[in-house]
Amino acid sequence: MLEGKRDVIFARMQRMFDTAIQVESDSSKLPSLLSQASNIDTLRKEFELNLDLFNEAQLMLNPKAMINYQSWTSFEEMFCYVKQIMERHSNVDNTSSENDSARP
């Protein structure tokens, strides 16, 4: 069960990451990214907790098991990229709005 949940959460982050890449060349995809990523911080916490529980269960089954946090590294890289793209485009939108409202 833990492995399945981990994989589902990772797949959601992968979709957000893929959409963030698309936003770079097509800003019309931004609303989709914002919708997908509305709970990105919660998703990150859930992934971290789930991964820890999964690894703990693996160690209980086999104390000599090699614990692998590679999925955490990959998840974090995607998480940071998505957050960066959202922030960058949020700043662009705020600047555009300020410029539009400053015009007579």
Q: pLDDT of 28-66, one tens digit each?
A: 999 999 999 999 999 999 999 999 999 999 999 999 999
Q: Which residue has the higher pLDDT, 98 or 33?
A: 33
The number of domains in the chain is: 1
State the pLDDT at residue 70. 93
Share of the chain above pLDDT 70, in %: 88
**Is the pLDDT reported for residue 92 higher than 80?**
no
- Determine contact, residues 82/37, Cβ cutoff 8 Å: yes
The domain in which residue 21 lies consists of 2-102
Per-residue pLDDT at 25 exceeds 90 = yes
> Looking at residue 98, what is its pLDDT?
52
